Copies of this chain bind each other. A is one copy, B any other.
Amino acid sequence: MSPRASSPATVKIGDVARAAGVSLGTVSKALNGTGSLREETRRHVQEVADRLGFVPDSRGRGLASGRTYTVGFLTTDSFGRFTLPILMGAEDALSVGRMAVILSDTRDDRAREEHLVRSLRGRRVDGLVVTGRSTDERARVDIDIPVVYAFTRPDDPEQCAVLSDEAAGAALAARHLLSLGRSRILHVTGPQRHRSARVRAEAVVDTAGDALVGEPMFGTWSEEWGRRAIDIALASGLDVDAVCCGSDQIARGVLDQLHERRIAVPEQVAVTGYDNWDVMALAARPPLTTVDMNLGEVGRRAGEMLLELIDGREPARCEIIVPPRLEIRGSTV
C-alpha cells in the first residue's frame, strides 16, 4: 500500500536536517531543547524547521520516547450535562501538559466499554480520566496505567478520585435559608435509590434540624416532580417558607407551581436549586439561588492529578473533594 499518499509529501526530520546542514539527531535535540548545542545552531535549525513547516510525527516520537502524550476520557454517561464541564476542565489541565484527549463514550454498555478500553490500551495512552454519573459507584477500569476518577466514585477506594462534596453543597443551601430566618423548610429531591439524593437529603436534614418541615420528598429529577411536590405539600396542609430542591429542574417546577398559586418568591417562600445549570437557573423567575458543584474545577483537578501520576510523582492526596459554592440570586432574598 502506498504509504500516506498525501499531496505534498510530509516533511520529516531528515528533510530539516538536510536543509539545515546538520545531522538528524541534531535537529531532534535542537527542537526539543535537549543535548548540548550552540544557541546559534538551535536557532538556525528552528528557523529551517519553521520555514519547511515541519511538525514531528507523534508516532515516531512516541515509539522512541515511550510516551504518547495522549490520555483517554472514558464516560459512562454519554456526554451529558455533568460530563461536559468536567471534560472541559480536564482538557484545560491536560492541554498545558501537551496532552491530547481521546474520547470514549461507553453508553453504559459493558461490552462497548471493554472494546473501548482495549482500543485505548492499543493506543498506549499515558493515562485515563473516568467519569460518569455520581449517583452510584462504578466498577474500576482494569488497566495498568494511571487512572483518575472524576465526579463518579470508584468501587475500589485505592483508586484516585476527584469528587464533589455533595453533603457540603446541600448544607450550604440549607444554611443559607436558615440565615435568612426561614424556619419551615421543605426538601424536594430526586429518587431515593440515587446516592446523590440520599446524601444531599441527609445533609439537609442534619443542617436544618427543627426547621425542616416533614420528611424529604423523594421523586424524580424533573420539573414535573417539582410542580407535583408543591401540590402534594400544600394539599396536605404543610406550612412552608422555603423549599430546598435537589436539582435546578425540580426547583424550576417548584417556582412555576408557586407562581401558579400566587405565592410570592422569595417574599413568602424562598427557593434553592442544585447544579447551577445556567439555562434553568438564569431563565427562572426569579433567577434561582443554587449550588454550583464547580464541575469545571473537578475536571481540572482530575487532569492535574493524572499528569502527576503519569510523571510518576505521588500526588499529595489521592482523593480530592472539591467544595461547592452557593450562587445567590433572586429566589432567596
> How far is B314's CA from A256's CA once the two chains are assembled, in angstroms?
54
Write the chain B residue with the least CB distance to A253.
B283
Option from B84, B119, B253, B312 in Cβ contact (under 8 Å) with A100: B119
A56 in the interface (beta carbon within 8 A)? yes
Option from B1, B55, B68, B145 in Cβ contact (under 8 Å) with A6: B145
A88 in the interface (beta carbon within 8 A)? yes
List 29 contacting pairs A-B, 8 Å CB cutoff, sorted by A: A1-B66, A4-B67, A5-B312, A7-B144, A10-B124, A55-B118, A55-B121, A56-B122, A57-B63, A57-B122, A57-B124, A59-B63, A59-B68, A73-B103, A78-B88, A79-B79, A79-B87, A79-B88, A84-B84, A87-B103, A88-B105, A91-B105, A100-B102, A100-B123, A102-B103, A252-B283, A253-B283, A256-B285, A279-B279
Which residues of A71-98 have CB atoms within 8 Å of chain B's CB atoms? 73, 78-79, 84, 87-88, 91, 98
A62 in the interface (beta carbon within 8 A)? yes
A35 in the interface (beta carbon within 8 A)? no
Counted per complex, copies of this chain come to 2
- Tell whether, in the assembled complex, residue B144 and residue A66 are in contact, meaning their CB atoms are under 8 Å apart: no
Give, as a whole number of angstroms, the nearest-CB distance from A194 to chain B.
18
A5-B312, A8-B144 provided; 9 other pairs, C-beta below 8 A?
A59-B59, A59-B60, A70-B102, A78-B88, A84-B84, A91-B105, A100-B123, A101-B102, A253-B283
- Tell whether, in the assembled complex, residue B100 and residue A55 are in contact, meaning their CB atoms are under 8 Å apart: no
- Tell whether, in the assembled complex, residue A223 and residue B84 are in contact, meaning their CB atoms are under 8 Å apart: no
Chain B residues whose CB sits within 8 angstroms of the CB of A1 once the complex forms: 65-66
